[in-house]
Amino acid sequence: METTLHKQMQYQAWESNLDIQVFREYLRIPSVHPDVCYDECVEFLRRQAVSLDLKAEVVEVNPGKPVVIISWQGSDSAAPSIMLNSHMDVVPVYPEKWTHPPFSAHMDQEGRIYGRGSQDMKCVGVQFLAVVRALKREGVRLKRTLHLTFVPDEEIGGELGMRDFVRTDRFKELNWGFAIDEGYAIEEDVYRLFYGERYIRRANFYISGTPGHGSLLLEDTAGEKARKLLDRMMDYREMEENKLKNDRKLTIGDITTVNLTMISGGIQGNVVPPEMMLCFDIRVSNDISLEAFDAQLEKWCKESGGGIRIEHDVKNPVTAVTKLDASNPFWVAFKGAVDKMNLRVRPQINPGATDVRYLRDLGIPAIGFSPMNKTPVLLHDHDEYLHAETFLKGIDIYKEIVSAVANV
């Protein structure tokens, strides 16, 4: 009976918590691809800014692609500012695969808050708002200005969002010094901390060959060349996979991943096509020369029979990782806060790609960190959820970290 009563009281405490209420309200906004409308998100964030006695600035770099900036001025207006970044958009859902509707923000009796974006990454945006609310309530004044940025289209590459935003005069005027963006969950009693990302090579191989009747044995067909190229790409994939399996110190962010994602070509079952296309999603590790890797792809094309051209949907440039040493005072402060809380963190290269790559391109140090440990990794998955206690603990963790880096 006591246990049941305790659970009921705990649930009521979560349900009445302001930060959890804000989180659930945000999750109910279906800012989902494709064709996202961000109007509800913008209005939601305007209301949050008012509740914090702050202003929300909206920069529409491209039509329908707003960047919302909520700023809290620090005591030293000349000091480079801190960016607390999150994205408003979420990936598509298969509602029939969910236990609870994906935009209901349902919280069960155990405290699991279900919703698309609960881990990736509306939680982080609301936690940043909660940090400002808590610090203002305590009468704290930070040295550096905080800019909470809420950007569009991260889930589809950020080209019309963060990529174009960093090219604007307004971005430059905000005088950036350091940024914190998303990480992702981990089931262990440790926290992931990302200081760099792999290079994306999303490559389309257009393979030309001899066309003709399907009953003949023609030479140099597109299909033959495609098979040879596929073998080379998959052999490389297997080599990298074995490297990961045989070295427990490595994470997936330390190797190069190769995945065949699309195959197209042909118009009829008995016609040998003049061209086929193979698309590979390739994430190149930071310790590999991109020039050498691109040359290797061209070599494999020639070895597969030639007549193959490569077109890249995405081809990221070389970007320096954020230094995690004494030369980076923001890292020193970040680590000091983490150590103060006795948190175990695992610095690593992010296997995916986030908007902070556009900041690192400009030399702005940035760390990806979402305080979600002992949590199943459910970003982009069905039944994505975050536990209420994990969410609330994350606010306390961010509060220490943000206070430390903003007072550097």
200-214 pLDDT per residue, tens = 999 999 999 999 999
pLDDT attached to residue 5:
86
Alpha-helix residue ranges (DSSP H) falling in 1-74: 2-16, 18-27, 39-51
Confidence band, pLDDT 50/70/90 cuts, at residue 2: low
Q: Are 297 and 304 in contact (CB under 8 A)?
A: no
Examine the pLDDT at 215 and tell me if it is beyond 90: yes
Residue range 342-350: average pLDDT? 97
Residue boundaries of the structural domains of the chain:
2-197+351-406, 199-315
Which pLDDT band holds residue 3 (cuts at 50, 70, 90)?
confident
Catalytic residue list contains 155? no
For residue range 111-170, list pLDDT tens digits in order: 999 999 999 999 999 999 999 999 999 999 999 999 999 999 999 999 999 999 999 999
Contact 59, 69 (CB under 8 A): yes
CA distance 199 to 123: 26
**Domain 2-197+351-406, CATH number (from 3.40.50.2300, 3.40.630.10, 3.40.710.10, 3.40.190.10):** 3.40.630.10
Q: Tens digit of pLDDT for each residue in 243-282? A: 999 999 999 999 999 999 999 999 999 999 999 999 999 9
What does CATH list as the number for 199-315?
A: 3.30.70.360
DSSP 265-297: E-SSTTEE-SEEEEEEEEEE-TTS-HHHHHHHH
Confirm whether 339 is a catalytic residue. no
Is the distance from CB of 366 to CB of 178 less than 8 angstroms? yes
Quote the longest CA-to-CA distance of the chain: 81
Q: Give the C-alpha separation, 194 to 183, whole Å.
A: 7
Q: Which residue in the list 19, 153, 154, 181 is annotated as catalytic?
A: 154
Output the pLDDT for position 349: 96
DSSP 199-263: EEEEEEEEEE---EETTS--SS-HHHHHHHHHHHHHHHHHHHHHHHHH-TT--GGGS-EEEEEEE
Contact call for residues 83 and 147 (beta carbons, < 8 A): yes
pLDDT in tens, 6-36: 889 999 999 999 999 999 999 999 999 999 9
Q: What is the pLDDT of residues 42-91, one digit of tens each?
A: 999 999 999 999 999 999 999 999 999 999 999 999 999 999 999 999 99
Cα–Cα distance between 247 and 165 in angstroms, integer? 40
Exposure on the CB side of residue 51, measured as CA atoms within 13 A: 15
> Can you tell me the distance from the alpha carbon of 42 to that of 44, in angstroms, rounded to the nearest whole number?
5
| Residue 398's pLDDT band (cuts 50, 70, 90) | very high
Among 130, 107, 140, which residue's Cα sits nearest to residue 27? 107
Segment 338-349 mean pLDDT = 97
- How far is the C-alpha of 321 from the C-alpha of 377, rounded, in Å? 24
Q: What is the pLDDT of residues 87-105, one digit of tens each?
A: 999 999 999 999 999 999 9
Q: What pTM was estimated for this model as a whole?
A: 0.91
Residue in 19, 89, 120, 182 annotated catalytic: 89
